[in-house]
Structure 1
Amino acid sequence: MSAVRVLSVWRSRHLNCRCFVGNTRINDYKAPRGFLRLFRDFSTDEGTVTSGRKRGLRAADVAERLRREKHEKTETANKVPVSPVQRNVAELKRFTQKLQFVHPNVFAKALSNSILYQDQNIIAINKPYGVPVYSTGGIGNSIAESLPVLAKIIDGIKGGSELHVCYNLEKDTTGILFLSRTEETAEQIHNLIRSHEAEKRYMVITVGVPVPSEGVIDIPIIEKEVMGDQHHFKMGLSPLYRPAEEGDGLVRVRAHRQAQSAVTRYKVLDSSSRCSLVELQPITGVKHQLRVHMALALACPILGDHKYADWNKLAPQKLPEGVLRRLGLEQSKTRHLPLHLHVRQITLPGVRGHSDLTVSCPLPKFFTAALKKLQIELPEKP
């Protein structure tokens, strides 16, 4: 009920005198002071009377209220968490989400600061976590869309500057990504990667310690349908051998026609707290090859791999209690763990007059932070 309505009702019931509110002049000096004070407070709260004049809600008031609400939300979001778990989760979010939704120009500038190698034909950048190479739904930035701005940042305002993506990396994979200035060079590097002539070395943190500590995984991979409450598809193993029904030994089975050959060389560099730092060298290039081989062939899933840590369902990775304590997390917060899969080093054979080119890339901060918490040593040389 408006202030005018309240005053009119009060007058009609309690006073037999005139009271004009149109010009906000009250001529009844016999009205109790408490009521007049109530009238003033009510009018101020409703935004209908200010300094003796009647007015409605202004756009400036709405804008001010929205600014205040936004400021309060920002303060709440930036409030220092009180528990170690909250601090660790906030730290993971800061590491893994800071470039996903920034302005495209800011993102391109960040990519220019991450250049690992550059010459007249080739540029190598350190791909950040959570950003796809090509545009996908729900993600604000992608490498490919930022290339025109990145080219101008690198070369200045120069007509005809172009950059091309040489190959794709998964959204949650970090590390070396080659760009080229010409489509010809991009195609050449792409063919080297696809034909496995380029040597790629990854670093991962695994939950569990692979046994033996060094070896080669040679098990084909095929896409499979997972039935149940959460119907979905995953890449899975399609072994060429099975245990013999009688006695020891293995029996070779016929390969599935849709299975793809997949070979991965691995080596444990260090282990502690039931986790390991493992170097992986893919000999082939099948979708999700490294994740599938580690989780399903060696039963040591990559830390933060919420897809392949459990074959039967899609859920945040379940970690042993000791690992949770080391990481300072609760099981309910493991969904914030990023995939610890990093392209550490790539060697390209001669490209456009180059001799062999080797580029190395430092680990992301969330990766080194996990190593420190797990007390795993990082080798001095990649």
Structure 2
Amino acid sequence: MTTRMAALLLLRRLAAGGAVARLQQPYAGLATAASRQDALDATREESGQPDKGNKNRWMELPPFAPVDAAAAARAIFRGQGGDEIEGSSNSTAIRWVRRCCPDLPASLVQKLFRLRKVKKNAVTAETSSTHASAEQFRLRRVSAKDHLLPGDTLFLPVNIQESSVAEKARKFDNRNEIDFLRSLEIYKDKAIIVVNKPPGMPVQGGVGIKNSIDVLAPMFEENSSDAPRLVHRLDRDCSGVLVLGRTQLSASILHAIFREKTADALADGTQQVLQRKYVALVMGTPRHPKGLLSAPLAKVLLQDGKSERLTVRAGPNTTSVQDALTEYRVIESCPQGFTWLELFPLTGRKHQLRVHCAEVLGTPIVGDYKYGRQAHQDWTPLPVSQTVDKELLRKQRLPFGLVLGGGSIAEQQPQLHLHCKQMMLPDISAAVQGLQSEDADRDFSDLEKLSFVAPLPLHMRLSWEVLKSVDK
């Protein structure tokens, strides 16, 4: 408790000087003030190196301020106070550099420490001739495993930042691609970016994947080397609301909130802090118009010995069994044998909705050839009525090899008809601001809930129109 109170008092003093606010900007500013120049001269004298311009300018990282993201997420999730969110101050210098500079390769960070290019502020109080206390700054070398105390400030060579921004500019210089990605934005504030992920775009990289949201995330930022971070996933062929954290702290809190959501659901909790709504077109009709699906998921190895899939049938060849809960509601049943569903995942398991629809409800999602291959073997496209808007039938090539249009139930091979239409989250930006404030009495019970809605992709809109026209 004594350590926590001391850290809190130090954070208050830093906040009064505007230091804590810099946590939202990992490359917050350069140490170019006169006091920092004294430290620069001292460092140069210690190393015996002459002044060579940029090589002796330093980039100041945010002061070390440990925060327990998991504890903060629990407080936000349960609408409680945040009295116990201060994390352990037992963190090393290399961990703090990686947190503040996630875009720097790990090998480069390690090299900076080996070459003694990472410095830490050493503040001493001296008495001037007028008996006034003056702070003298001096930069000292810090090793990778040195432990930091709240308020410690690390410095890196400024050319690291400049080269990182320049490298990003060279890597992402296609204006059409940048404009396309930014056109996907639904919402943006200091903590998060919300996008409407198009179908066919991978969220993460993998074998044979060149472009993914994870790799392209720097395009969402202008003149910044700090890239947004993934906090949850959508399948490659799934579309809809996708949230990214703009800072390490906001991303860590969001990660913890998604985990807390699953834990709360499995404990029969009733918290509604995080809510997600999907829309799906399935083959067949559920027996009941609404219900709760509770079926554990397990991995099973396929006959080729390499591929795996998830199933609700646990057996001797299954591993990593995880409980999964999904609520569903029928939106509309169509005489052609299709049904529009709303799906509400209470847990966040891989392929949860696809497996629950195919194996529990017995109604595989249209375009899901992994879990509904048998149902698609006798697939017959539906005719397109003359009343359907012709604009929905047009196909257009998009950046990154994507295609707009096609894939509806009027096609021989429809795309996956699964879309994350809506997500509700607490105001993470306000929560982060509260965590970084000097107010010790943090209260997250009145955080505003933000709702993000993504319109249906073109192929699902066309399928909706086709089914309506056939009904007529």
* TM-score category (smaller protein): 0.5 to 0.7
Matched, 1:303 2:396: no
Q: Secondary structure at the match of 1:303?
A: coil
Q: Secondary structure at the match of 1:325?
A: coil
> d(CA) in 1 for partners of 2:309 and 2:225?
42
Paired letter, 1:268: V
Q: Structure 2 vs 1, CA of residues 161 and 232 (structure 1 numbering), >3 Å: closer, same or farther? A: closer
> Who is 1:112 aligned against?
182
Matches within 5 A, 1:90-101: none
How many aligned positions are there? 248
> Who is 1:266 aligned against?
328
Paired letter, 2:313: S
Paired letter, 1:235: L
Which of 199, 215, 224 aligns to 1:129? It is 199
Matches within 5 A, 1:15-30: none
Paired letter, 1:169: L
Contact 2:285 2:337 survives alignment (8 Å): yes
In the TM superposition, residue 147 of structure 1 has moved relative to its aligned partner by 1.9
Which of 404, 421, 425 aligns to 1:344? It is 421
RMSD (CA atoms):
3.2
Paired letter, 2:195: I
Structure 1: unaligned runs, 5 residues or longer: 1-101, 153-157, 241-255, 378-382
> d(CA) in 1 for partners of 2:456 and 2:204?
22
Higher radius of gyration, 1 or 2: 1
Contact 1:174 1:364 survives alignment (8 Å): yes
In the TM superposition, residue 122 of structure 1 has moved relative to its aligned partner by 1.7
Contact 2:192 2:428 survives alignment (8 Å): no
Deviations 1:182-203 (A, max 9, x none): 1110111122122225111111
Matches within 5 A, 1:9-48: none
> d(CA) in 1 for partners of 2:178 and 2:213?
8
Q: Percent identity of the aligned residues?
A: 28
Deviations 1:238-278 (A, max 9, x none): 379xxxxxxxxxxxxxxx87421011100010121210110
Taking structure 1 as the reference length, what is the TM-score of the superposition? 0.58
Contact 2:194 2:244 survives alignment (8 Å): yes
In the TM superposition, residue 376 of structure 1 has moved relative to its aligned partner by 8.4
> Who is 2:255 aligned against?
190
Q: Structure 2 vs 1, CA of residues 339 and 278 (structure 1 numbering), >3 Å: closer, same or farther? A: same
Matched, 1:357 2:450: yes
Structure 1 moving runs of 4+ over 6 Å: 327-330
Matched, 1:237 2:335: no
Q: Structure 2 vs 1, CA of residues 222 and 161 (structure 1 numbering), >3 Å: closer, same or farther? A: closer
Q: Structure 2 vs 1, CA of residues 258 and 373 (structure 1 numbering), >3 Å: closer, same or farther? A: same
> d(CA) in 2 for partners of 1:117 and 1:181?
12
> d(CA) in 2 for partners of 1:125 and 1:110?
11
Larger mean CA deviation between 114-123 and 209-218 belongs to: 114-123
> Who is 1:178 aligned against?
243
In the TM superposition, residue 284 of structure 1 has moved relative to its aligned partner by 0.9
Contact 2:283 2:339 survives alignment (8 Å): yes
Q: Structure 2 vs 1, CA of residues 119 and 338 (structure 1 numbering), >3 Å: closer, same or farther? A: same
Contact 1:108 1:147 survives alignment (8 Å): no
Q: Structure 2 vs 1, CA of residues 204 and 363 (structure 1 numbering), >3 Å: closer, same or farther? A: same
Q: Structure 2 vs 1, CA of residues 257 and 114 (structure 1 numbering), >3 Å: closer, same or farther? A: closer
Matched, 1:222 2:269: no
Deviations 1:268-297 (A, max 9, x none): 101212101100001111111100000011
> Who is 2:376 aligned against?
317
Structure 2: unaligned runs, 5 residues or longer: 1-171, 262-272, 386-405, 431-446
In the TM superposition, residue 140 of structure 1 has moved relative to its aligned partner by 3.7
Q: Secondary structure at the match of 2:221?
A: helix
In the TM superposition, residue 103 of structure 1 has moved relative to its aligned partner by 8.9
Which of 214, 219, 244 aligns to 1:149? It is 219
Paired letter, 1:325: L
Q: Structure 2 vs 1, CA of residues 327 and 195 (structure 1 numbering), >3 Å: closer, same or farther? A: farther
Paired letter, 2:382: R
In the TM superposition, residue 160 of structure 1 has moved relative to its aligned partner by 4.7
Q: Secondary structure at the match of 2:215?
A: helix
Q: Secondary structure at the match of 1:281?
A: strand
Deviations 1:312-370 (A, max 9, x none): xxxx923554xx2346999xx96732111111111113424251111111001111001
> d(CA) in 2 for partners of 1:109 and 1:163?
17
> d(CA) in 1 for partners of 2:365 and 2:469?
15
